[in-house]
């Protein structure tokens, strides 16, 4: 009887997303699509551009956790009272993604200036688009490259898809997004000195109806296991404080 009581108490102490109750809702950057479900399969996930998800939170969409590919969005939402204190949990880098056959014969970022190249990038309103423009500015090739842009996407997965399907000669994406399409694409490095600092932050939404479960999810992300899975997916890991 005592053993049964202990099991019941333990089950009641678990967050809803773990004990089988209503799963929490996690709004997360599209570049986290593959790794977050590996860290925890329990939540209901909604993956999209970080800016779109931030707007949804401001408009009152039900959510328990928010994870963004840029601290810009989490920090503004925290400042305005929508989130609890954000935590940095990962870093990333940009690469140039090309189809496996590399029809445009691209080997460096400077090749993106050549006439006739079909380039896909992120819209300036999403982190991948903002980071792309920072890199082009640092390399001093913005004007020459932007004339070759045939599409500006609202999330990084759309860029990856177009390149993998051969609808574009190249796209600038996160290093981690190249892994799932490695059989159909090639990755070309962008110089480290031109890389902007890319930090991912996660935070609990203040209006969450499942604060215990939401906090538990954040703990999973920053846990030793979470860091291992993020590292396996190609993310960089911030120094633990």
Of 1-15, 59-73, 115-129, 183-197, the range with the lowest mean pLDDT is: 1-15
Domain ranges of the chain: 2-91+199-232, 94-194
Mean pLDDT calculated for residue range 181-203:
96
Query: Residue 88's beta-bridge partner residues?
Result: 201
**For 77-96, b where at least 16 C-beta lie within 10 A, e where not — what string?**
bbeeebbbebbbbbebbbbb
Mean pLDDT calculated for residue range 184-200:
96
What strand order describes the sheet that includes 119-122? Answer: 149-153, 119-122, 170-174, 94-99, 185-189
Mean pLDDT calculated for residue range 56-68:
97
pLDDT, tens digit, 9 for 90 and up, residues 138-149? 999 999 999 999
Task: Please say if the pLDDT value at position 18 is more than 90.
Answer: no
What is the reported pTM?
0.86
Q: What is the pLDDT of residue 230?
A: 98
Contacts of 7 (CB under 8 A, 6+ apart): none
Q: Which CATH superfamily is domain 94-194 in?
A: Periplasmic binding protein-like II (3.40.190.10)
Contacts of 236 (CB under 8 A, 6+ apart): 90, 91, 92, 93
What distance lies between CA 41 and its chain's CA centroid? 17
CATH class of the domain defined by 2-91+199-232:
alpha beta
Q: What is the pLDDT of residue 240?
A: 72
Quick check: 64 and 208 in contact, CB under 8 A? Answer: yes
Domains 2-91+199-232 and 94-194 share a fold: yes
Tokens 């490095």 found at = 189
| Whole-number average pLDDT of the chain | 91
pLDDT, tens digit, 9 for 90 and up, residues 71-125? 999 999 999 999 999 999 999 999 999 999 999 999 999 999 999 999 999 999 9
Q: What is the pLDDT of residue 110?
A: 98
């Amino acid at each position: 009887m005592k053993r049964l009581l202990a099991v019941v108490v333990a089950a009641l102490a678990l967050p809803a997303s773990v004990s089988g109750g209503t799963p929490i809702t996690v709004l997360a950057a599209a570049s986290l699509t593959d790794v977050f479900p590996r860290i925890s399969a329990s939540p209901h996930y909604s993956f999209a551009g970080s800016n779109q998800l931030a707007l949804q939170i401001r408009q009152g969409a039900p959510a328990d956790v928010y994870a963004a590919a840029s601290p810009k969005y989490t920090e503004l939402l925290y400042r305005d009272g929508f989130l609890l204190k954000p935590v940095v949990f990962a870093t990333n880098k940009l690469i140039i993604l090309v189809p496996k056959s590399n029809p445009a014969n691209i080997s460096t970022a400077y090749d993106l200036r050549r006439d006739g190249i079909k380039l896909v990038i992120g819209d300036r309103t999403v982190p991948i688009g903002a980071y792309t423009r920072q890199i082009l500015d640092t390399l001093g090739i913005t004007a020459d490259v932007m004339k070759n842009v045939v599409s500006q996407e609202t999330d990084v997965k759309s860029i990856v898809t177009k390149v993998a399907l051969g609808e574009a000669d190249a796209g600038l994406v996160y290093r981690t997004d190249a892994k799932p399409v490695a059989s159909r694409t090639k990755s070309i490095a962008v110089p480290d000195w031109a890389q902007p600092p890319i930090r991912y932050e996660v935070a609990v939404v203040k209006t969450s109806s499942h604060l215990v479960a939401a906090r538990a999810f954040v703990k999973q992300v920053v846990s030793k296991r979470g860091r291992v899975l993020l590292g396996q997916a190609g993310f960089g890991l911030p120094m633990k404080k």
